[in-house]
Amino acid sequence: MTPLLEQQIDKYACGASLPPLRPVDGVMRLSRMGAFFPHRLSFMRVLIRRLARQKAVMQMPVCALDENGFGHVVLCLPLSGRIYSLIAYSRPLEDGARTDRVIATSWDASFCLFDGVPKPADIERLADEVTRQEAGRYDERALTLSRANKSVRLFQHVTEALAAGRQPDKEQLVSTGYLMRTTAVYGNGKFGIADRDQLVKYDGLEGAFQAEMLTVFLIREFTLFLAEYCASQKGGGTAVPLSRENRRYLGVGNSTGLGMAPFLVTHPCLLNSWIMAREVALARVIQCQKASPYKLQRAKDLLARARLHCLDWQVEDAIQMQRIHILRGELERLIADISARPLAEIAPFADLYQRAENASEELQELLVSVLIELMPEEVDALADCMATDALPRLVPQMPISELKSLIAEHYHWVEDIDFTQPAADAQFWYVSAAKLEPRLGLRHSEPGAELEMPFNIAGYIRALNIELAEAGEDESVASFLLRAPRHRNIIRRIQTIAKFPYGEIHDNLVGQDCRPIDLLRCKLSFFGASKFDPKSDKWTRITLYQGAPTADELAINPPEISDDWLFPLHPDSPSPQS
Amino acid sequence: MQLSANEIYQTARKACLASGYPHDRAEDIAHAVSWLQSAGFDGCAALLDMLAEAEKGYVLAGLHPKRVGENIVLDIGYLHPAFEGIAAIDWLLAGQKGAEIKIDRLSHPLIFAGLLWQAGHIYQQAFILASWDAQEIIHLPNSDVGAVAALSCLKSQISIRSGDRQASLFSVPASHSVIADSLWDRLLELAAHTYVPESEASRLSGAGAGLVDND
């Protein structure tokens, strides 16, 4: 065994001894990943907890909007002693130019998260760049870029209602859930903005995607402000602000497509750290031998809230709607079962989890989110383990015999694929010449497969196995690679996965049945997105920060209240008490 | 033009792919180029020089270590960083006792120096490079980046051995760097060869497709 592999993380993670975890082979299947729900380790939750703990107070040092709400605004938020500012530019946009497609070149609003408080010269200089997004150039003081379009119908309804002195209609709020939707949030050095390696050293932005999450949080603040501002311009003294409940209910919409999916494949170490943290959290809760009456009641309350949330969750996609119908029924039955037959006194949460062992993956993964919620004292510190700078690395001294064992242990799922069938590699992933976005093509009928991204993991394993059959058992990987260099990429991946086992998806990513939407839901659940609303098997709409406290609540609410927004409900929902 | 470290990494990686390098080698070279730029070297210019050679259809020549007395030696007549270079570094990192690489001709030494520096950091392993006449000895990684400049002057008759394992090494943080517009345009041009023209079916399945957006 090599020194590297002696550190196998099936024993330790984040410096702590690991409880028994769910098997990788069960968790890392696309169908299960495509059933994940947001949870308390989701990155938005982590950010809100940090902001609430610090009682952060947002300020608006610049508001230069005209009577129609066009102009610019600066929102500043201190985080761990450093000030971050969202510069928001609001512009008129013809209906014909409003598109969520990534190919758009103009938007209702465009944003830049800025390091510090921008001076007037910064705001003026960035105006020409930020409003053109990808076509602009930036420097390290720009931390992220984003843009958003109004949900025209809801934005208009909300401003008209507020201008007339009344709150917006509940049905309309529920059916949309946001005033604007973003179509991209760019980070990590894109177009000259700050590199992620730099950003993670900034106070308050440690951890996964925290700059991006902060950007969207401030965009939400901007959308709420803009709606109230437009209402006050229209209604004058008659206008009223949004009620606290409605403010909380409104999130930020987002359209997300294939651009997000390859990230999970190209960042196996990071994917492992996300999934591992969630699995460790689940295992710790399940191991809990005795629960207080408060925690038992909290479990029931969360299930009741989840039930109402799922009743609000309506989508057009037939497959997802069918799953939601099944989930609703299962939740009803589970809640009734717990009423009739209380959870076991010893290991009650293991009992709760086991009661769903024959249920759908949707219910099982919803339960993961519920269970993780119950023990913040065991779970929250795991958020610190969800960012890693580890990269795939070759272990050149490894004997071939050990490499073969790793393949047998971590890639046995490849044996289930019938490579003689065209379906085995029916699709290929590529980067499109239009806006450089990842796309999925049909290998046997579309051109471009020679430029595919290296996602045919199963195919590479199969090809490697054929050549390994001829290699000496004691030969080192480095020696093998001198005559078979084409396998270096997959060998490096295999050796990396041995250390980061939750970093590999155990499904054929180029197979005919691969549904990219499952990858999207997994990643979006870690962001904390709710109301997953697939529009095809390749893109989805979601809502971010729905139910989260707004900035004006952060300094007022006790932190545990600010942190309680799993499964958001619309303001007029019946009480979710069980 | 000022560019972020990640822009340089991604564009260099794609330019390597467009020039026929396999994914793993494209990634390693791109990391080295991005690091060279952050460290104040003209990594992008060196990369373009190297890629011009790759366009001639370069492939990795078979390499066979030989036992010489107590040592095991990998003789490399001509070392191209992306091919023999990466293979040689892997072979050295395998830690075989008495392992030594002998290079008759070294092409694109700056890129090779970047690869050695990167590998040294990842594996916490120093490398000792010496001219065959032992007049010049270079340690990489080192306490400053001057050793990279020294190696980039060497072009022939060099031997490399593994040095001591190093617990902590001098590091250069990723940072923005300035690149001549003409060089950057050339890299972007190369990178563009990895993009596939979008099909109509693909366009219709992208995010936001098929909906009225004024809803």
Please provide the DSSP assignment of A215-248 as one string: HHHHHHHHHHHHHHHHHHHHHGGG--PPPHHHHH
pLDDT of A15? 61
Residue B134 has φ and ψ, to the nearest 5°, of 60, 20
* B159 lies in the same domain as B102: yes
Distance (Å, whole) CA A340 – CA A241: 45
CATH number at residue B40: 1.10.1530
* B81 lies in the same domain as B99: yes
**Which residues form the domain of B95?**
66-165
* B126 lies in the same domain as B185: no
Establish if B208 belongs to a structural domain. no
CB-CB neighbors (< 8 A) of B192 in chain A: 433
- Is 80 exceeded by the pLDDT of residue A515? yes
pLDDT of A492? 98
Establish if B95 belongs to a structural domain. yes
- Is 70 exceeded by the pLDDT of residue A437? yes
- Is 90 exceeded by the pLDDT of residue A232? yes
pLDDT of A17? 73
pLDDT of A7? 40
Residue A563 host element (H or E): none
Are the C-beta atoms of residues A368 and A379 closer than 8 Å to each other?
no
Question: Which one has a higher pLDDT value, A573 or A169?
Answer: A169
Out of A102, A197, A481, closest to residue B173 by CB: A197
Out of A153, A196, A540, closest to residue B6 by CB: A196
pLDDT 10s digits, A2-47: 333 334 444 555 666 788 899 999 999 999 999 999 999 999 999 9
* B37 lies in the same domain as B91: no
Report ipTM for this prediction.
0.94
* Amino acid residing at A130: V
pLDDT of B211? 58
* B33 lies in the same domain as B54: yes
Are the C-beta atoms of residues B93 and B28 closer than 8 Å to each other?
no
* B108 lies in the same domain as B142: yes
Region class of A470: left (phi > 0), else alpha (psi between -120 and 50), else beta: alpha
CB contact under 8 A, B4 and A195: yes
pLDDT 10s digits, B55-72: 555 566 678 899 999 999
The residue-averaged pLDDT of A143-148 equals 97
* B113 lies in the same domain as B181: no
Residue A72: half-sphere exposure toward Cβ, Cα within 13 Å: 22
Show Cβ contacts of residue A104 under 8 Å, excluding neighbours closer than 6 positions: A97, A147, A183
Out of B6, B60, B195, closest to residue A485 by CB: B60
CB-CB neighbors (< 8 A) of A100 in chain B: 207-208, 211, 213
Establish if B206 belongs to a structural domain. no
Distance (Å, whole) CA B80 – CA B61: 10
Q: Which of residues 225-244 of A touch B (CB under 8 A)?
A: none
pLDDT 10s digits, A275-303: 999 999 999 999 999 999 999 999 999 99
Establish if B201 belongs to a structural domain. no
The helix/strand/coil state of A415 is helix
Establish if B43 belongs to a structural domain. yes
* B34 lies in the same domain as B104: no
Establish if B204 belongs to a structural domain. no
The CA-atom distances, in angstroms, between A286 and each of A276, A345, A362, A382 are 15, 13, 18, 16
Residue A377 C-alpha, separation from nearest chain B C-alpha, in angstroms: 35
DSSP state of A418: -
Residue B153 C-alpha, separation from nearest chain A C-alpha, in angstroms: 27
Q: What is the mean pLDDT of chain A?
A: 93
CB-CB neighbors (< 8 A) of B122 in chain A: 391, 393
Question: Which one has a higher pLDDT value, A60 or B59?
Answer: A60
The reply to whether A257 touches chain B by the CB within 8 Å rule is yes
* B71 lies in the same domain as B107: yes
* B147 lies in the same domain as B86: yes
Distance (Å, whole) CA B118 – CA B110: 12
How many domains are there within chain B? 2
CATH number at residue B72: 3.30.950
Distance (Å, whole) CA A509 – CA B156: 45
Residue A199: how many other CB atoms lie within 10 Å: 22
Out of A95, A189, A258, closest to residue B7 by CB: A189
- Is 80 exceeded by the pLDDT of residue B208? no
Residue A133 host element (H or E): none
Out of A446, A492, A538, closest to residue B199 by CB: A446
CB contact under 8 A, A192 and B24: no
Instruction: Quickly list H helices, A440-576.
Output: 457-468, 477-483, 488-499, 516-527, 551-554, 559-562
The residue-averaged pLDDT of A331-338 equals 98
Question: Which one has a higher pLDDT value, A45 or B208?
Answer: A45
Question: How would residue B206 be classed by pLDDT, with cut points 50, 70 and 90?
Answer: low
* Amino acid residing at A176: T
CB-CB neighbors (< 8 A) of A542 in chain B: none
Distance (Å, whole) CA A530 – CA A524: 8
Q: Pick from B125, B200, B214 the residue to mutate for testing the A interface (most A CBs within 10 Å).
A: B214
Q: Which two tokens stand for residue A325?
A: 């119908």
pLDDT of B63? 86
CB-CB neighbors (< 8 A) of B90 in chain A: 394, 396, 477-478, 481, 488
* B182 lies in the same domain as B157: no
Establish if B121 belongs to a structural domain. yes
- Is 90 exceeded by the pLDDT of residue A425? yes
The reply to whether A108 touches chain B by the CB within 8 Å rule is no
Q: Which two tokens stand for residue A71?
A: 């102009």
Q: Pick from B175, B181, B205 the residue to mutate for testing the A interface (most A CBs within 10 Å).
A: B205
Establish if B186 belongs to a structural domain. yes
pLDDT of A2? 34
Buried b (16+ CB within 10 A) or exposed e, A93-107: beeeebbbbbebebb
Which residue does chain B place closest to A539, by CA atoms?
Answer: B207
CB contact under 8 A, A486 and B173: no
Q: Which of residues 58-87 of A touch B (CB under 8 A)?
A: none
Residue percentage of chain A with pLDDT more than 70: 97
pLDDT of B117? 93
* B77 lies in the same domain as B110: yes
Distance (Å, whole) CA A16 – CA A192: 38
pLDDT of A509? 97
Please provide the DSSP assignment of A358-412 as one string: TS-HHHHHHHHHHHHHH-HHHHGGGGGGS---------TT-BHHHHHHHHHHH-G
The reply to whether A326 touches chain B by the CB within 8 Å rule is no
Residue B30 host element (H or E): helix B23-38
Q: To which residue do tokens 């709420």 refer?
A: A224
CB contact under 8 A, A99 and B213: yes
